[in-house]
A and B are shown apart, each in its own frame.
Chain A
Amino acid sequence: MGSIRDYFANITGALTTTAKGMGVTLRHFTSEPPITVMYPHERKWVPPTTRGKHILEQDKCIDCHLCAKACPVDCIEIEAEHYGRILEWKQFSIDYKKCIFCEFCIPPCPVDCIHMTTEYEMATDRNDDMVEDLLTWTGLRPEDEAKITGEPTEFQKKQQADDGGKAGGKDKSALIAQIKARLGKG
C-alpha cells in the first residue's frame, strides 16, 4: 500500500530526477559537440603497430615458404621457379577472406621482407578482389635474366668501363693471397 509520505516522495522524486535528466540531455544538445568521427570524410588515428594489409619486398624474398607455413589459416600462396639463386616469380598472394591478421607470418621471415601496413580499408563487393597479389613484378626482371645468362648488366658494363672490373678500383689480388695463406689453402 505505501504511505502518504511515500506518495509525495514519489512525485517529487520523479519530477526532480526527470528535470536532472532533461538538464543533462539539454546540455548534450546545446553545448557538447558531437564526438562522431565522420567516417568517409575523416578517419580515426590508428597506432602504427596496427596489423593491416601486407607488403612484400620482392627482391629480398628467397621463396622459403616459412610465412606460408606459419599462417594458421593457410592463406598465403607462393609460387616461384628457381634458377640457382635467381627467382622467376609466379605468385605471392594472400587471401584476405581467410587472413585473420594475426601477424604470425612476419617474424619467421629470415630476410625480413614481408611487413604489415596499417591499411585496413579493404571492402569490396566481389569475392575475387579479396585475393591480393603482393608481387611488384612477375616473371624475370631484366637484371635477373642477365644474371642467369651471364651477360653483364648495364651497371656491370659501366663498372668494366670505369675500373676494369675491380670494385672501388683497388687491386684485390694481394688480399686474396693473404686470406688463402691464413686458411692454409683449404
Chain B
Amino acid sequence: MRRSRKFISEVLTTLKENIRRTGDPLGMKGVYWTEWAKGLHLPRQGKTVLLTGRMYQMLPYIMQVTKIISSAKPLLSRGGLGAAVNLGNRFMGDKVIRFRAVGSGKVRTKGANALRGIASALSAVGEMPAYLYEHEPYSGVLLYDLGLDDYIEEHVKRVYRLLKEHNVEKVIGVDPHTTFMLREVYPRYIEEFTIEVKHYLEILSENVEELKDGSKISLEGEYVIHDSCYLSRELGVIEQVRRISESIGISLREPENAKLDTACCGGPIEYAFRDLTEKVSRTRIEELSAISRDVLVVCPICLINLQKYEKELGINVWDMGELLLRALQPG
C-alpha cells in the first residue's frame, strides 16, 4: 500500500504517454502482433475484419512487464525513482521487453494457437475475415479500465479513423475486452458509429452445425468452464461457449461461481498489485481445479493468469481457440 500514489501515478503517466506516442500500451514501436497469422494467408482488405486488439500477442510481454514493474516497486517505496523506475519505454524499452520475453515461449505458443484456432473456426463456418496485420490497432481498453477518460477520445477517434480508412464495416473481436471497448465504449465517443461489432463466439454459436461438420475430430473429455467477467456480465455471451463446446465434443462442468456470477481471475490489477492478483487467482483456480484437471477459458487475461498454476496443480488451462484448433486441425 505504501507509495501507491506515486506508483500508480507512474503507471498512468506511462500508459498515457505510450499510447499517445505509439498507439501501444507497452510503448513498443516494432510490430509484434502479426506473427500468429503467418501462413494463414488472411486477406489484408475486407469489409469484415478480425480484430485481435493485440491482446493474445501481448501475453509474453505482459508477463515480463509485470515482473519488471514488480521488481521496481521497492525502489519506489524508497523514493528512489529516477530513470530506472520510469515505467514504459523509458523504463522497459522494446529491446528489454523482447529480450526478456524470449523465455515465454509456452505462453506465446498458446496465444498464437488460440488465434489460429479462432481464425480456422470462423473459416469453417464460412466467415473469412480480413486481418489488418501491421495496421491492426490496440483498442485502448486499459485507458478505460484505469479511468483515463481524458485520453480515450483521442485514441478512439484515431482507431475509428483507421478502421474507416480500411473500409471496415464489421469487426469480429477475439477477446472480451477489445470487443467490449468497440461495442460499448466507442459509440460514446463517435457520434455516428456504424461498425457492427461481434465476438467470435457469437458467430460460431449461430453456426454450430457447420462447426461440427468442419471438425476433424471430436475432442471428448471433461472441462470446467471459467467464464470471463467482461464476456458474461458486459457482453452477455454465456450460453454461446457452452453450445460451441458441445459441438466439438467437449463436456463442460460448471463451478459454483459461473455465468453471470463468475469470479474474476484477478488479472486486471496484475500490472500494479501482483500480491492481490496472486490471492484472487489462486482462490479461483483452486475452485476450478477441484472440479476438473482441464480448465477452459475464453479470455487472454484469464489464460495468462490461470495457466501459471498448471505445473503446481497438475492441470491444463486451455483457451477456447486452442481447443478449436485441435478440433479443426488435429496434430
Whether A associates with B in a native complex is no
Interface of B toward A, CB cutoff 8 Å: none
